[in-house]
Amino acid sequence: MRDLFERMEAEKTAEALNDNVIIPFAAALEEICRARGYVLNIHGEASNIVFTGDEQDAEAIYRLVEDYLAAKKPSPE
Quick check: 76 pLDDT over 80? no
Quick check: 13 pLDDT over 70? yes
Quick check: 77 pLDDT over 70? no
Reported pTM: 0.68
Q: Are strands 40-43 and 48-51 parallel, antiparallel or unpaired?
A: antiparallel
Rg value, the chain, Cα: 15
- pLDDT, position 56: 93
Q: What is the pLDDT of residues 24-64, one digit of tens each?
A: 999 999 899 999 999 888 888 888 888 898 899 999 999 99
- pLDDT, position 43: 86
